[in-house]
Amino acid sequence: GFCARSRYGDHSMQVLHLLEPKGPAVATRGVVVFVHGGAWGSGKPWMYRLASIPFLEMGLAVAIVGYRTYPDADVDGQVEDVERAMEDLARRRPDLLQNNRGGGISALVGHSTGAHISFLTVLKRSKAHMEAEKQGKESKDVFINSFIGLSGVYNIQNHFEFESGRGVEEMSPLKPVCGFSVENFIENSACFRLEQCLLDQEREECDVAEEVELVDHLPQMLFVHGVLDDTVPYTSTQKIVDAILSIESSDVEEKCHEILLEDVGHSDTVMHLMFGGKTRDSLVDWFQSWSLFSECDDES
């Protein structure tokens, strides 16, 4: 597909590369927002254009987010960039990404540390939607109805200990980008922020007559990890999935899915998107089994 580049901020890294499939399907199918990895400190959108192939073949546009990496931004700054990029895309192309709950597929996909940043974005948005519901308002935030995390980092303290065991903790941007201290590592972990959202839910349930459930505001979620990953152990994905599935809700198992791929390493999950492999096959099957995908076809 054709690649259009645009800026959503003043920094040279704050760019979007938008690739669109040929044909009319894009108007009804929607968009994938892709957030690359790179240990919070490297990566450019052009490096990941080939990762758009399976999504383009499904009739989805792909917006690859360029964001400020270390030392230009910490974790919260990178989350802010992903949010700004989505808001800018929704403003420029409301046909692809609507600022509401309607209209096709809106998927946020992240690889490695990009999965970490993306899932923090999901939790931040879900919390905002909860607060809006509590106040009887409709959230005006960009609505993401699906999240895919590939080989993601979700517990910063655990990953710092893993990097220390490999002797790379002083070379990795993890320590400065996530706040230097154990307390900040914990606070910048998706596991911790999920717990905080659940605590907010409990407080809100005490304040309002009707229950306000986090699960109702979470997107469909797919967590994929290679069992042979020696950069981010697959236990990272197992633990965040276990944390989500521990939420007391009848709907949570329908929203959270996990795929562990045998004989797959860390970079393989994104390389499979580019050149074919188990990860691509798993994502295509998951999208096509999802009811919203068939609804898009019915509307086209």
Write the pLDDT tens digit of every residue in 83-122: 999 999 999 998 888 754 555 789 999 999 999 999 999 9
% of the chain beyond a pLDDT of 90: 52
Q: For residue 150, what is the domain's CATH number?
A: 3.40.50.1820
How high is the pLDDT of residue 112?
95
Write the pLDDT tens digit of every residue in 25-72: 444 578 999 999 998 888 999 999 999 999 999 989 999 999 999 999
User: What's the Rg (C-alpha) of the chain?
Assistant: 18
How high is the pLDDT of residue 136?
73
Tally of structural domains, the chain = 1
Lowest mean pLDDT among 14-28, 143-157, 231-245, 264-278: 14-28
Domain holding 287, by residue range, is 2-299
H-type helices in the chain, by residue range? Answer: 26-29, 53-57, 75-92, 113-134, 156-166, 174-177, 182-187, 190-207, 235-245, 252-255, 268-275, 278-289, 291-299
Structure tokens belonging to residue 293:
């995908």
Residue that wins the pLDDT comparison between 162 and 287: 287
Write the pLDDT tens digit of every residue in 200-249: 666 555 444 445 577 888 999 999 999 999 989 999 999 999 999 988 77
Mean pLDDT of all residues belonging to the chain = 84
Q: What pTM does this model have?
A: 0.90
Residues pairing with 30 in the sheet: 105
